[in-house]
Amino acid sequence: MPELPEVEVTRRSFADAIAGARVQGVRLGKPLRWPLGVAEQVMLGREVGAVTRRGKYLWLPLHGGGASGGGLLLHLGMSGSLAFQTRPAEPGPHDHFDLRTSQGLLRLNDPRRFGAVVWSESLEQGPAAKLLAGLGLEPFDPRFDGPHLKVGLSGRRVAIKQALLAGDIVVGAGNIYACEALFLAGIDPRAQAGRLSGPRCARLAAAVRQVLGAAVEAGGTTLRDFKDAHGVAGSFQMQAQVYGREGESCRVCQTPIRRIVQGQRSTFFCPTCQKR
DNA sequence: CAGTGGCCCTGAGCGC
DNA sequence: TGCGCTCAGGGCCACT
């Protein structure tokens, strides 16, 4: 479900509300992708700091407790969402992590359980460091531009769509936004990554930033169940040009949108507007 | 080292 | 109504 925009929208929706809260307890449901890796006792009484995001991960620093550092690294996987409630409901069958605090309950709901909540001593060490190590630049980092993309893609024989999705050059463009960015840039998703010209790399870098930025502003994409931490749905799906539109006509040239499979993921594109 | 595919799970939708 | 199949917004890891 959540790509960078959904994760960012989620972050913004509860960061202020939880900042400064004291941890009062933890509840675990079924196992997520990895074990939490810390005893509840370690977190009790700690103060929640400023929630940050790196790629599709959220970092929830937990200060104090004598031992100083530490925090929780969260990932929403394919079907995860966070809710922050001041009047907590009973946990449902897919509520697999609760952080009870003095200012409300942060709850992870994740039917497929590809998501994760992992304790780490800091972002720079422990499990967090390892998980974030291979990530590319943030799309809104000024260093992410055409030349950076060109260098990252050089020598790669995979299709540009798969190279974007890999996240080691630029993070955050998942299956929806990779398709949308390639449409916006007029690039065929099957084009060989390492063969993209400088100008096309520049166009693609701009398109990635534009699509992700627009999606954040629209509150993310709600295909079926994405909601922010206060239960608000996104609306970017309304402006999707290609994703999920197989057989429908291109909004620019009326050619039917095609769906193909790349690396076991669906790709949607306009065979007329997007060129190799 | 780049590239490929399996796998971790549950639920929805569809054809029969 | 029920069954079996396919597909779904991610990404780690083993293997070639």
Residues near strand C (C-beta below 7 A) are A 1-3, 6, 33, 55-56, 75, 77-78, 112, 114, 131, 134, 165, 167, 174-176, 220-226, 264-266
Q: Identify the pLDDT of residue A159.
A: 97
Q: What is the set of domains in chain A, with CATH numbers?
A: 4-132 (3.20.190.10), 146-269 (1.10.8.50)
As to burial, measured by CB atoms within 10 angstroms (0-12 exposed, 13-18 middle, 19+ buried), residue A143 is exposed
At residue A44, does pLDDT exceed 90?
Answer: yes
* Tokens representing residue A40 in the block: 């509840």
Q: Are A250 and A272 in contact (CB under 8 A)?
A: yes
Tell me the average pLDDT of chain A: 96
User: What mean pLDDT do residues A197-203 have?
Assistant: 98
| Structure tokens that stand for A201 in this block | 């790399």
Instruction: Please identify which of the residues A3, A6, A8, A138 carries the catalytic annotation.
Output: A3
Residues A212, A159: Cα–Cα separation, whole Å: 21
Report the C-alpha gap between A212 and A139 in whole angstroms: 8
Tell me whether residue A261 is exposed, middle or buried, using C-beta atoms within 10 angstroms of its C-beta: 0 to 12, 13 to 18, 19 or more: exposed
CA-based end-to-end distance of chain A: 29
- What is the value of pTM for the model shown? 0.97
Condensed to tens digits (0 to 9), the pLDDT of residues A66-115 reads 667 899 999 999 999 999 999 989 999 999 999 999 999 999 999 999 99
Closest nucleotide to A6, Cα to C1': C9
Can you give the pLDDT at residue A66? 64
A181/C2 CA-to-C1' distance in Å: 42
Percent of chain A with pLDDT over 70: 99
Q: In this prediction, what percent of chain A has a pLDDT beyond 90?
A: 95
A207-240 pLDDT tens trace: 999 999 999 999 999 988 899 999 999 999 999 9
